[in-house]
Amino acid sequence: SPDGGAQDTSFRWQCVEQPIGKLLFRRFLEGTPAFAAAGALWAELEAFERCEDAERAEAAKKLQGRFFTAGGAEHCGFLSSAATAVPTG
């Protein structure tokens, strides 16, 4: 192979692009109380990506209230302010 047989060990390749890696990592997140909100956020973001354009504004509002707002049901306080900023334009 052109890369000399080196295996990709990036997070993206192992936990996002590989189905079994993604499943195992998601189960780990969901099964670990400290990371359960991160697992739920990941699932909801994937659902958001699949929703119809007409549903996106309402779905984004729910995501923001649940995960990005202090006091939300599953607030993800580990996210940076840049990650949770409301998009402009």
What integer best gives the mean pLDDT of the chain? 88
Domain positions in the chain are 11-68
pLDDT above 90 covers what percent of the chain? 67
What pLDDT digit, counting tens, does each position of 46-65 carry? Answer: 999 999 999 999 999 999 99
What SS3 class is residue 30? helix
How many angstroms separate the CA atoms of 5 and 46, rounded? 32
